[in-house]
Amino acid sequence: MLFSAQEMLNRAKAGDEKAKGELLEQFRPYLNVLAQRHLDDRLRGRLDFTDVVQTTFLEASRDFGAFRGENVDSLLAWLRNILRNNVHTAHQQHLGTQKRSARLETRISIASESGGSSLGMADIVPSETSTPSQRVMKSEAAAVLAMHLEKIPETQRQAIRLRYLEGLSLKEISDRMEKSEMAVAGLLKRGLRTLREEMADPA
């Protein structure tokens, strides 16, 4: 029997350990996206974003009894706060507090809790005039988007993340991925098409 995220949250709060595990696992793709976005580039090669996410899951599971929210969006806010603290700790341990810039401080400030909870395609693919910080994904709908994003091919997913979540130019993505700008443009085009098809598939 399939349960909605809200139903799993209710069961988890009632003490159902299996429901708690399944609930947290459902939001792993969401936290993966946020962790990749907010970890400083200088940590690449030294720290895997999945380690930060796994630490977040372990802490969330351990401290779930302290969670007082009643809906999924409040759970996501709670998870983001744990992740934010772990990202901050990772930066302190690996980069040193004296090296943090104003830009870094902005990047690790994951959750501004303002704004509506209804997200569509534009929230994961913002307009050219939007900055990544203006499009922080905060709601259950955004978590669903992240889940679909994780299902598309890795190179397409990386290109979309760098372009639309990190706000990098084609040239910067080309340098990062060690591909031509034309190849990056192709990855973006195919990735967006694949993502839209994935989101439109009721299965």
What is the reported pLDDT for 2? 56
Which of residues 149 and 101 earns the better pLDDT score?
A: 149
CATH second-level architecture of 5-113?
Answer: Orthogonal Bundle (1.10)
Q: Is the pTM of this model over 0.75?
A: no
Specify the 3-state DSSP secondary structure of 39: coil
Which of residues 199 and 7 earns the better pLDDT score?
A: 7
pLDDT in tens, 34-67: 888 877 777 766 778 888 999 999 999 999 999 9
What is the reported pLDDT for 139? 62
Q: Which of 39-43, 46-50, 100-104, 109-113 has the highest mean pLDDT?
A: 46-50
By C-alpha distance, which of 72, 70, 60, 53 is closest to 139? 72
| Band of residue 21 on the pLDDT scale cut at 50, 70, 90 | very high
By C-alpha distance, which of 30, 26, 63, 67 is closest to 49? 30
What is the reported pLDDT for 3? 67
Taking 3-state DSSP, the helix, strand and coil percentages for the chain, each rounded to the nearest 5, stand at 70, 0, 30
What is the reported pLDDT for 129? 43
95 by Cβ neighbours in 10 Å (0-12 / 13-18 / 19+) ranks as: middle
Spacing of C-alpha 124 from chain mean position: 10
| Band of residue 15 on the pLDDT scale cut at 50, 70, 90 | very high
What is the reported pLDDT for 56? 93
What is the reported pLDDT for 34? 85
If you average pLDDT over every residue of the chain, what do you get? 76
